[in-house]
Every structure is written in structure tokens, then in C-alpha cells.
Amino acid sequence: MNIKKPTIMMIGLLLLTPFSIPSQVDAASSTFVTKGTTTQKVVALTFDDGSDGTNIAKILSILKSNQVKATFFLTGSGAANHPQSIKNITTASPTHQIGNHSYSHPDFTTLTASQMTSELSRTESLIRSLTGKTTKPIFRAPFGASNSKVLSAVGAAGYTKTIQWNIDTTDWKGISSTAILDRVLPKVVPGSIILMHTGAGAKGTPTALPTMISKLKAKGYSFVTISELLRSSTSTGTTYTVKAGDTLYSIARKYNVSVSALASANNITNWNLLNVGQVLKIPTTTYTVKAGDTLYSIATRYGVTVTALMQANGITNPNLLLIGQVLKIPN
């Protein structure tokens, strides 16, 4: 995989730098994600669906009985072969997320941009016709094969996130449920993305899944979709003690965070229930610098001052940012 090193950019000089990448290309490129950048104990279970989808019904049943969300990366060939199973994924409870995994599962690094676009659009059209739902904005490359050319093409097609994983169960090899658990449980960290499959070859997955869920719950982990994981990419430092008259909304507004982020950071399921004296963790949002960004544009976007943004990130030169640099957004 071809990953470019962060490029230093000077405010006002970016377009004059001969080695900088044009901003329109970067804007179109998909972001490559291997795990969530969060301190919260959340995990994303992901399932790649191929042409047979043998275990979809079993997986959905296990997820439902444990009230666990997951993300399914769908292929067009799979949707053509088992359309009802695809519909069942999108109507299941709790609500799962779907993403695009190509139509015929080719190695995208061997395709032209137009071929990649065709693979994505054919799958998107078929999934939309079956379910009324979109696979955007998340894509998973077949075989995990990706490079800058792939990221540019899929980003231009509307897939802003290319989702890899940091834990590969290798369940497709037909390994036992015990072997799957041994590959997952010791390696899970906050923000982990776990790769599994729905096909018949992954025969150990339905057996491993209930134990995986129960043991991770016992360790304090909760389960989120990929989009929820990306939204939870925060760190927590500030706390607030609930006072009489406070509501989750008023506290969220005070610290310029969303109610859902505040609830998630504190494992609150009933947004109307707060206790006086309760100590809440205030999530601090992070932002990844892109080509063309300035401290002023980022500060304006989040409603904070440039000075506060610099202090929160230990920045002494306001004219120097790195593409790919992760900034903490102060409350």
C-alpha cells in the first residue's frame, strides 16, 4: 500500500509549493481508516459479504439477541445471489450500517479509475433498488488492497472513508471458533475494527460471535457502527458536575458538543435522566488536517478562537500545519 508521508504546508504558500498535492485531489481522496482514534471503549464489528452469504441469518439473529450493532460491507454479486438476506440486514433491529465492497470483488489496485467507479456504482444501484438505502460514504477494498490511486477514485465516487481493520479474524480460512476468539480478545483496544465474513467458509464465526460479544461486554466495551465509531473519535479530559436545572442539552450547548456525543461518552441511554452531583466526561473532538486547511478555517468551523486551538495543541507557529495532523478541538 502506498501511503504518502505528511506534507508540510505553509499558509498562503500552499499553492506555490511545487511538491504539494493539488487541493482538489486531496478533497476527493478517500480517508484510509484502520481503527477509531478514541479513548472510549467502543468496538466496531464488521462483516464482509461475498457471493453466498450463508451465515447472514445466523449472524443477524445473534446480533439481535445481544442488541449489538454491526457494519456489513456488501458486494453486488452477493446482493444479486441473496437479495432477501441483504434486505434483512437493512431492516434488522438494532439498526446496522451498510458499506460498499465492490460488485465482483476484484483487486482494486489492478483496475483503472473507470473500472473502479463501475464496480462501486453497480453495487450502489443494486443495493438502493433492493433496500432504498445507500452504501455511501464507506467502502472496504476487496482483499484490503488499496493505494493512492484507489483512494482517489473511490473518494471521487462519493466514498469518503475506506475502512480497513486492525483485527483480522481470518475466519474465511475455516478456522475454529476458539482460534477466532484467540485472534480477537487479546488484541481489542478502544476503537478496534474487527473483520469477519458472512460466507460458508467462515464456519467458526457464528459460534465465536456470542462469546466474543459477552467477553467484550464484560470488559466494558460497547458496540457501534463504523460511522458511530468515527464520530466517537474523541478524547476525554474535561468533566462537569451536574447541577439542579441542568439538562443534557444545556450541558452539551455549554461545551459546544453534540448531545449524542455527550451521552455516548458517559454511557447515557436515557437523555432525560440526570442526577444532581453526577460527574460527566466532556468529549473533546479531534480534526485531521487536510490540504488547504488553515488554523483560522478550522477554528471558524468549530466556533473556537485560533489562540485556543493553538494552546490546545501546543502550536507555536500558526502558519505551519501538517496534512494528516490530528488536532484537538477545545471546548
* Distance, C-alpha 18 to centroid of its chain: 33
Q: What is the pLDDT along the chain (331 residues), one digit of tens a residue?
A: 444 434 434 333 333 333 233 333 333 688 888 888 787 899 999 999 999 999 999 999 999 999 999 999 999 999 999 999 999 999 999 999 999 999 999 999 999 999 999 999 999 999 999 999 999 999 999 999 998 899 999 999 999 999 999 999 999 999 999 999 999 999 999 899 999 999 999 999 999 999 999 999 999 999 999 999 988 754 445 788 889 999 999 988 887 677 887 888 888 888 888 888 888 888 767 788 888 889 988 888 777 788 888 877 778 788 877 777 778 777 6
Question: Which residues, at least 6 apart from 243, have a Cβ–Cβ distance to it below 8 Å?
Answer: 276
Show which residues are catalytic: 48, 197
Map out the domains of the chain as residue ranges. 34-228, 234-328
Statement: 34-228 belongs to CATH 3.40.50.300: no
The fold for domain 234-328 equals: Membrane-bound Lytic Murein Transglycosylase D; Chain A (3.10.350)
Q: Which residues of 126-142 are buried (b: 16+ CB within 10 A; e: fewer)?
A: bbeebbeeebbbbbbbb
| Per-residue DSSP letter, 27 | H
134 and 227 in contact (C-beta within 8 Å)?
Answer: no
Q: Which three cell numbers stand for residue 249?
A: 442539552
| Per-residue DSSP letter, 232 | T
Question: Which residues, at least 6 apart from 122, have a Cβ–Cβ distance to it below 8 Å?
Answer: 76, 103
DSSP letters, 107-146, are: -GGGS-HHHHHHHHHHHHHHHHHHHS---TTEE--GGG--
